[in-house]
Amino acid sequence: MRSAPVRLGLALCLSCLTAVIGLQGRQRGTAGSPPAADAAVQFEDITQQAGLTFRHTNGASADKHIVETMSSGGLFFDYDNDGWLDVFLVDGGSLADPKVAATARDRLYRNRRDGTFEDVTAAARLTHQGFGVGACAGDFDNDGWTDLYLTRDGANALYKNNGNGSFTDVTQTAGVASTRMSTSCAFADVDKDGDLDLFVASIGPTALFRNRRADSGDSVFADATVPAGTYHNTIRSLEFTQLEPGVVDRKVYAPGIGIVVERALAGGQEVAKLVKVTG
């Protein structure tokens, strides 16, 4: 007479266990169970609330200069070492109208850590010159503070982070001045000496600047474009991307050295140029 209650109790326990396992499986998003619609990642435009009031100056004119057809770049970097990412936005300019050109200026926004940003461009002493196109950030002198390099249709600029909220233009002394129409750039330690080198893509010859700090101790760069085999005069470079070090093919790529990829436009067609770091 006791067998029926026992079987009933066992069935109820198994049913509860099955329900719990099923609930856990749904919560974990197990294979074969698509996430609920309300679980999808949602984005909200908070530009105005965050205080990012930047408006890009494209300088569009009847002459249709190529630089007018491109928007400028921007980046997140922690310029004040407080652990919060700040925002730097590159402004354009005008080649046809000096009055429009005078209104353009790059912007540095400091993260207030409360979801808003403060325009600190003037205090940072980041002056706008030429028609801005792109930017990259890296600690080229290994002093613990992230520096900034700007590409332009005109003279590029390297700004050293002073560590007190301001920057100093060290372009000439560092040897990285360029008057080509530069587009993008990237800092990368291509020779594995512990110091960041600089690659600059341009509408014209590209440039690779080797950081000689390990040799001379003064963070002066040397143009290593031709010796490194990265000189391209017929390719119009628009983007430069450094991929993370990793093993792709041990017979070709040295683990830990990594690779660089140059994307460009040549003859109207997009091409990919792979440059292997050999030492």
Q: Per-residue DSSP letters for 6-75?
A: HHHHHHHHHHHHHHHHHHHHHHHT-TT-PPPGGGS------HHHHT----------TT--GGGGS---EE
pLDDT of residue 276: 44
According to the model, what pLDDT value does residue 37 have?
59
**Tens place of pLDDT for every residue, the chain, 279 residues?**
444 443 434 333 334 433 333 434 444 444 555 656 567 889 999 999 999 999 999 888 888 888 887 778 899 999 999 999 999 999 999 988 999 999 999 999 999 999 999 999 999 999 888 889 999 999 999 999 999 999 998 889 999 999 999 999 999 999 998 777 888 899 999 888 899 999 998 887 788 899 988 777 677 898 887 554 444 444 444 444 443 333 222 222 223 333 334 333 333 333 334 444 444
Long-range pairs for 264-269 at CB < 8 Å and ≥24 separation? 264/201, 264/232, 264/235, 264/236, 264/237, 264/238, 264/239, 265/235, 265/236, 265/238, 266/234, 266/235, 266/236
Residue type (1 letter), 117: F
Q: Which two tokens stand for residue 104?
A: 């353009």
Give 154's DSSP letter.
S
pLDDT at 35: 57
CA-to-CA dists, residue 270 to 128, 142, 182, 243, 263, angstroms: 31, 36, 18, 19, 7
Residue 73 contacts residue 134 (beta carbons within 8 Å): yes
Angle at 90 between CA 232 and CA 103, to 5 degrees: 120
Give residue 6's pLDDT: 36
Q: Which two tokens stand for residue 216?
A: 């001379």
